[in-house]
């Protein structure tokens, strides 16, 4: 079923330059290398499709999203087969992620059917108001135009070709141009085939979706700088995301860059909870830390706890649980190399003690566990930088005041977690106002891996967790990234958008 071609406005486009996929196992395939010319063709097709697509009814777009989900499910076996080969992820993980991907599409279909995302407001005319009359003013959210989406390395389905960014943009009425991730081009192509089948089945403009594979840095740069692109969705590294963010800001017409860039997701163990549940919390943390070889943006890499015997018990239990975790295959050779670099950076930190060092070679990763005092943590901000993989650092603070100081020292996070029992509520109440300023999601007595896709979810946070603290990349609120409010004053009803009449 694989062609190795780009999908641009309904056509399969090839060129002579190709790159080979680098699977964890199984065969390697050749894929066409994207160029700025491919990007230009895709974006121009998206702009040409925008008037007709934006004018579709909510039901038409909802049916389109539902059909994409159906077409993806129809290709489930193919997606799982090549997805496991390309990423090294187990079949159960790929099948679960496919369910999340199709669930997101269907969730957005239901969301736009009920009209709530449009936030319609009507202020009736007050012709007799003194000293001045008021005109009739109506407001509605309108789609912004073509959107660029960058596929993520760690989620080949849910954050990639037809993932949350694409689903929410299509739901909003915006065409999408996807820059596929070279870590899983075959998975991306099969998903793109599903989208194309839905386009034809629902009689949508073919320019509403394109996928450009591979390419050098100039391909991504040309996408975010294309004058017809109105916004960008990105999930990836801090360095790559910040470079693209800066390009968006430097355009003659700056556009929003919605980047989700990473987080250490600190977990605060409060004294009463630690006394009552040290072993239980340790087992849960070890499982969360090593899930998917630690390759989740919500991986809880930092523990903050008092320097006390109860933390000794927690540390011993966490060590024993992590020591049982064998090597796991990482998504790419580059991610594995970055994990080893992060390990070396943490291990070289002043005052850092190595508690577990199981080894990490080639594309394999094993857990590492370190400990550091609160004083040394506060003196070395680099210890708070993300290590993408199953590495944990326990920060032992001398008292509750230093725990609060560690909270204040944090950069922006996707999540912060409190493990709290009844006797901890006063300390938790002191920490909470600080943590809610640091993170988009604050949890109690759980672990942040596993992001629920629902109306109330926020997957974002202050920089560097994301580049826009007022947005989320998960949940129905994410559709607002691709909409902008427009007011209509005294327009005849026949000229208003149908949903505002």
To 5 degrees, how large is the angle CA 388–CA 392–CA 395? Answer: 125
Catalytic residue (one of 174, 248, 297, 416)? 297
Q: State how far the alpha carbon of 439 is from the alpha carbons of 6, 66, 155, 478, in Å.
A: 38, 32, 22, 17
What is the DSSP pairing of strand 483-489 with strand 137-143? antiparallel
Q: Report residue 12: phi and psi, to 5°.
A: -85, 120
Are the C-beta atoms of 453 and 104 separated by less than 8 Å? yes
390 C-beta neighbours (distance < 10 Å), count: 29
Q: Per-residue DSSP letters for 35-95? A: -HHHHHHHHHHHHHHHHHHHTS-HHHHHHHHHHHHHHHHHTHHHHHHHHHHHH---HHHHH
Are the C-beta atoms of 413 and 438 separated by less than 8 Å? yes
Catalytic residue (one of 260, 310, 386, 416)? 260
* Measured distance CA(258)–CA(303) in Å, rounded: 28
What's the gap between Cα 41 and its chain centre?
27
Q: Token digits for 346?
A: 């943490």
Q: Report residue 173: phi and psi, to 5°.
A: 105, 20
Which has the closest alpha carbon to 95: 427, 114, 433, 103?
103
* Measured distance CA(471)–CA(479) in Å, rounded: 9
* Measured distance CA(84)–CA(327) in Å, rounded: 17
Is residue 260 annotated as part of the catalytic site, yes or no? yes
**Cis before 131? omega within 30:** yes
Residue 3: burial class (beta carbons within 10 Å; 0-12, 13-18, 19+): middle
Q: Token digits for 84?
A: 């496991």
Helix (H) or strand (E) holding 316: helix 309-323
* Measured distance CA(313)–CA(319) in Å, rounded: 10
List, in order, residues 6 or more apart from 343 with CB less than 8 Å away: 360, 368, 387, 389, 391
Are the C-beta atoms of 312 and 371 separated by less than 8 Å? no
Q: Any idea which residues carry the catalytic annotation?
A: 260, 297
């Amino acid at each position: 079923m694989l062609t190795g071609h780009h999908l641009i406005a309904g056509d399969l486009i090839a060129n002579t330059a190709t790159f080979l996929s680098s699977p964890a196992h199984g065969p390697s395939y050749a894929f066409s290398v994207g160029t700025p010319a491919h990007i230009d063709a895709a974006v121009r097709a998206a702009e040409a499709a925008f008037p007709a697509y934006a004018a579709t009814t909510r039901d038409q777009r909802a049916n389109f999203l539902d059909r994409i989900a159906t077409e993806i499910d129809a290709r489930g076996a193919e997606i799982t087969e090549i997805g496991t080969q390309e990423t090294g992820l187990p079949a159960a993980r790929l099948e679960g992620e496919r369910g999340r991907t199709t669930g997101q599409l269907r969730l957005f279909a239901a969301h736009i059917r009920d009209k709530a995302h449009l936030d319609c407001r009507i202020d009736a005319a007050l012709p007799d108001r003194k000293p001045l009359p008021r005109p009739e003013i109506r407001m509605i959210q309108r789609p912004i135009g073509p959107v660029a989406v960058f596929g993520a390395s760690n989620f080949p389905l849910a954050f990639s070709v037809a993932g949350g960014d694409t689903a929410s943009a299509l739901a909003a009425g915006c065409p999408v141009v996807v820059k596929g991730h070279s870590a899983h081009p075959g998975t991306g192509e099969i998903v793109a085939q599903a989208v194309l089948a839905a386009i034809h089945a629902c009689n949508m403009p073919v320019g509403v979706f394109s996928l450009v594979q591979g390419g050098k840095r100039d391909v991504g740069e040309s996408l975010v700088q294309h004058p017809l692109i109105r916004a960008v969705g990105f999930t990836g590294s801090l360095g790559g995301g910040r470079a693209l963010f800066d390009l968006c800001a430097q355009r003659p017409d700056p556009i929003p860059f919605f980047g989700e860039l990473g987080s250490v997701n600190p977990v605060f163990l409060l004294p009463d909870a630690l006394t009552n549940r040290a072993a239980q919390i340790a087992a849960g943390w070890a499982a969360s830390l090593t899930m998917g070889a630690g390759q989740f943006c919500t991986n809880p890499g930092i523990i903050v706890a008092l320097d006390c015997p109860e933390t000794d018990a927690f540390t011993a239990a966490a060590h024993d649980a992590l020591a049982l975790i064998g090597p796991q295959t990482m998504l790419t050779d580059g991610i594995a190399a970055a994990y080893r670099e992060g390990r070396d950076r943490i291990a070289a930190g002043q005052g850092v003690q190595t508690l577990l060092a199981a080894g990490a070679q080639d594309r394999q990763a094993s857990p590492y566990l370190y400990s550091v005092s609160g004083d040394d943590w506060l003196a070395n901000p680099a210890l708070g930088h993300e290590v993408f993989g199953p590495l944990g650092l326990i920060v032992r603070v001398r008292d509750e005041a230093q725990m609060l100081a560690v909270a204040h020292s944090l950069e922006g996070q996707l999540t912060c977690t409190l493990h709290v029992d009844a006797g901890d509520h006063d300390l938790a109440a002191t920490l909470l106002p600080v943590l809610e300023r640091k993170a988009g999601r604050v949890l109690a007595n759980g672990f942040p891996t596993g992001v629920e896709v629902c109306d109330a979810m926020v997957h974002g946070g202050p920089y560097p967790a994301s580049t826009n603290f007022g947005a989320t990349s998960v949940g129905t609120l994410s559709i607002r990234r691709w909409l902008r409010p427009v007011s209509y004053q005294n327009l005849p009803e026949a000229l208003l958008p149908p949903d505002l009449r």
